[in-house]
Structure 1
Amino acid sequence: MATPVDPDFRARLAALNEKFAATVPGTLEKIRAALGACVAGGEQPPQDALHQLHEVLHGVAGSAGTFGYAVFGQESRRIEQMVRGVLNTQTGWAAVVPEVEKLLQWATRDAKASQFD
């Protein structure tokens, strides 16, 4: 078996995983705040609030799986795509709200869980 070039690789990866885990509560709060700004906008949320929600979900979707939060990343990607659809078509917002709320409830319990329920 080949020896890694960097013997501290696993230790650094573990440190990055811990750092990511520490950011999860703050990330959930950012999602919650962005959703709140969207909902406060009424039937059709303000574009800037939608962009913020999309941006936070996009960040989670792009990084969560790398740090052992595969399902959190997958569900964030799925909802991010729903938000992108709303941004592009100005329709479908009503379906997004319960999905984001469900994600928040699930991730608050255990964002590293291997099943989304």
Structure 2
Amino acid sequence: MSTPVDPDFRARLAALNEKFAATVPGTLDKIRTALVACQAGGAQPPQDALHELHEVLHGVAGSAGTFGFAVFGQESRRVEQMVRAVLATQTGWEAVVPEVEKLLVWAARDPKANQYD
């Protein structure tokens, strides 16, 4: 096994992981707020709220795995793709709501868990 060129690499990576972990509650609040805004539109969510939900999920999907939250990132990507499909087709919203709610409950318990249930 090779030694990283930068001896402080692991310490800095651990600090970044902790920093990401500290943002998770705020991120969950953003997801929840976007979901509520989407639900305020009735059967079909307002496009701006749907875009916001997509954007927040996309951010989690793109960064969570890097900081040791692999399953959180994967599940966020899965739900993000569902939201993207709703944006593209204007259908399927009713299936998205329980998936976002499940993600929020799961991540509130342990966003670093290795299994999604």
TM-score bucket of the superposed structures, by smaller chain:
over 0.9
The answer for the alignment partner of 1:18 in structure 2 is: 18
The size of the alignment, in residue pairs, is 117
Structure 2 distance, partners of 1:2, 1:83, is 42
State the TM-score, normalizing by the size of structure 1.
Answer: 0.98
Q: Which residue identity lines up with residue 83 of structure 1 in the other structure?
A: V
Residue in 1 aligned with 2:34? 34
Task: Structure 1: give runs of 5+ residues left out of the alignment.
Answer: none
Cα offset, 1:3, TM superposition: 2.5
Alignment root-mean-square deviation, CA: 0.6
Number of the residue aligned with 2:68: 68
| Residues 7-56 of structure 1: CA deviation (Å, up to 9, x unaligned) | 11011000000000000000000000000000011100000000000000
Regions of 4+ moved over 2 Å: none
The one-letter amino acid paired with 1:41 is: G
Instruction: State the distance in 1 between where 2:59 and 2:92 align.
Output: 22
In percent, how many aligned pairs have the same letter?
85
Give the SS at the match of 2:52: helix
Equivalent in the alignment of 2:100: 100
Whichever residue aligns with residue 2 of structure 2, its letter is: A
Residue identity in the other structure for 1:20: F
